Amino acid sequence: MLAVSHSRFGPGADVAELVEVAEPAAPQAGEALIGLQAAPINPGDLLRFEGRYGNTAASLPLFAGGEGIARVLAVGPGVRRVKVGDLVLVHQYFFKVGAWRQRILAPVDRLIPVPEADLLQLSMLTVNPATALLMLTEFVDIADGDSVVQNAANSAVGHWLIKLAAIRNVKLINVVRREDAAAELRAAGAGIVLIDGPDLAERIADVTNGRLPRLAIDAIAGSATQRLGSSVAECGTVVNYGLLSGEPCQIAARDTVFRDVTLRGFWLQRWWMDSTPEQISEIYAYLGKLVAGGDLSVPIEATYPLAEIKAALAHSARPHRTGKIVLTMQAT
């Protein structure tokens, strides 16, 4: 059975290794054997190769891959939660092994069933759309027609936010750093798209007629956080979930002290640790239904078989991509 591993830290295309690993054992009570169908390459995966993801050091070697979609191949005695043929979501946090492998022996209570739908879209469901939905709903009580602003709107999470905001009748203000990215978003049907800059707060005030958003979503950190902090209403909230700038979040006292603006962080793994199995299942049932109904999808730029992992990682690291890179596992 094939899996992706790395025994040193560095750029994924340089350090990733396709290795043969032992086949999983037959499932016992409370277990299921699942076959991976597809898995996206996320920024977090690239950071793990470099040893820069999360808040703990990991020992080498490591198996790679953060999420994917799998089909149940066999179940242990007495298993009722899933049956052979069901589709289930996979995430590294639940299984402690990389998702870029052909088969996994998994505890049934960690499996998240989803309806039949496009496998490539489902493969991306565990991380980015859940992150987008939870940031949109968990921090500020947003009503129909309210405004929310996000930067890095052309990112994967940004695309999911655009879709989810439209479904929930939220007026999303999308901020990007390049005109070509703005043009792509406008062509894809995004509503308001602005180019980031020092006068961002003034332009957001203009497009909202002074009714500033109470929620801003930040993927960049650094000075970009400050520009969002100055763009939200008094007592507004900036939620940071990424560090694309490589710098710490910045936010001025004039916003935190005098306008009571709050800076919060979001990490999906923390949400999983703090949530019940019922809450987790509810979120993914909702997202799975939207994908199955054709209401939720994001662009995919290319797919690669697992055997071409180095080429896939090199492609994923290219700047200015227009969609996700997805691995197909060719599981049997």
Length of the chain as a residue count: 332
Phi, psi of 172 (to 5 degrees): -95, 125
What's 297's DSSP letter?
-
Condensed to tens digits (0 to 9), the pLDDT of residues 51-81 reads 887 654 567 899 999 899 999 999 999 999 8
pTM of the model: 0.87
Rounded mean pLDDT, 156-172: 93
Residue 288 lies in a domain: yes
pLDDT band at residue 188 under the 50/70/90 scheme? confident
Which of 210, 237, 265 represents a domain boundary (last residue)? 265
Rounded mean pLDDT, 296-317: 94
Condensed to tens digits (0 to 9), the pLDDT of residues 103-134 reads 999 999 889 999 999 999 999 999 999 999 99
Instruction: Let me know whether 257 and 287 are in one domain.
Output: no
Helix (H) or strand (E) holding 35: strand 31-40
Residue 312 lies in a domain: yes
User: Contact, 63 vs 4, CB < 8 A?
Assistant: yes
What sign for the dihedral angle of Cα 277, 126, 189, 207?
Answer: positive
Per-residue model confidence (pLDDT) at position 332: 42
Instruction: Let me know whether 143 and 232 are in one domain.
Output: yes
Structure token digits, residue 151: 């930067």
Instruction: Let me know whether 121 and 152 are in one domain.
Output: no
Residue 160 lies in a domain: yes
What is the identity of the amino acid at 17?
E
CATH number for the domain spanning 160: value is 3.40.50.720
Rounded mean pLDDT, 182-186: 91
pLDDT band at residue 32 under the 50/70/90 scheme? very high
Distance (Å, whole) CA 127 – CA 131: 6
Catalytic residue, chosen from 53, 93, 286, 304, is: 53
Distance (Å, whole) CA 210 – CA 197: 19
Residue 49 lies in a domain: yes
Domain that holds residue 209: 139-265
Q: What total of structural domains would you count in the chain?
A: 2
Distance (Å, whole) CA 99 – CA 70: 10
Q: Is 304 a catalytic residue?
A: no
Location of structure tokens 């037959």: 26
Beta strands 67-75; 31-40: pairing state: antiparallel
Location of structure tokens 């970009």: 224
What's the burial of 249, exposed, middle or buried (CB within 10 Å: 0-12/13-18/19+)?
buried
What's 293's DSSP letter?
T
Structure token digits, residue 35: 């076959």
